[in-house]
Amino acid sequence: FVFYRAGYEAAAKHFVPGDLDVNLKGKSFMITGANSGIGKAAANEIAKRGGTVHLVCRNKDRAEEAKREIIAQSNNENVHVHILDMSSPRQIWEFAENFKKENNLNVLINNAGCMVNQRELTEDGLEKNFATNTLGTYILTTALIPALKSADAPRVITVSSGGMLVQKLNIADLQFEKGQFDGTMAYAQNKRQQVILTEQWSKQHKDIHFSSMHPGWADTPAVRLSMPDFYEKMKNKLRSETQGADTVVWLAVSPSAATQASGQFYQDRKPVSAHLPLASTRSSAGDEQKLLTVLEQLAEKFNPKTAQSSD
């Protein structure tokens, strides 16, 4: 119930009405995967409040179309398109380096994600879900931390998923090389990894406010495409894209979100446990440290700066 539209409607009765009455003029927001679904809905809400919005998307035509719609709906011209494939670590490093030279950044919203149902490798030999959802998110965030630190009250929000609640970090098989491949499970593992990253980053960078969140089950193109059976069965109960994006926007812009402790997992504007009772999904500090080490080593391998100096 809580993840569906009815859950949102029940929770919304307790929202603080003025939380989103903010003027975001002069503030800069980057949103990955912003040409549809929750990313686009969040971009639209931020643009309506005067924020400068950077849409980071893979598909140029769809991104330009989203930009036109957001400008039309928000009457805000400060909407910019950047083309980037989040499964390509080198591209992400280069993009972030160039972006920092020309732009300020107050808030990063890691929303892009993919759920590929067959095990597929990128041109770099990385499993595609892991490359996009985990390594891509890790590199983009890491590369942009210096830009965020020089901004006023910076924030990083990562859009996770309820699927991660039934997954415990499996450090022994991050790229799903063993056993039968299951795209839904791979995605849920990646989403658990994002929640752990958020917790770890909040300890490392005290001057940035980190959070992860679960948007509930929303009627988005991604859900229709990657979970067709679920969609057919539940389509009348799903949240709208705007309802799914509500907590993303709240975490990105509201003054009250910034008063919460950094590193938490949210649902409908409230911090909730990232673990179900009795689910045994907690990982050891050692495994979480290993995840960071593996990602750091992989990230450095594709970083043009370090790759050049080690050649």
Tell me which residues are annotated as active site. 187
Distance CA 89, CA 112 (A): 14
Q: Are 218 and 38 in contact (CB under 8 A)?
A: yes
Distance CA 106, CA 275 (A): 30
DSSP string over 99-137: HHHH---SEEEE------SS--B-TTS-BHHIIIIIIIH
Instruction: Pick the closest to residue 303 from 103, 105, 132, 97 (CA basis).
Output: 97
Distance CA 138, CA 145 (A): 11
Instruction: Considering only CA atoms, give the Rg of the chain.
Output: 18
Q: Which amino acid is at 269?
A: R
DSSP string over 205-245: -TTSEEEEE---SB--HHHHHH-HHHHHHHTTTPBPHHHHH
Instruction: Pick the closest to residue 268 from 246, 236, 253 (CA basis).
Output: 246
Q: What are 267's strand-pairing partners?
A: 270
Q: What are 184's strand-pairing partners?
A: none
Nearest-10 crossing angle of helices 37-48, 241-253: 50
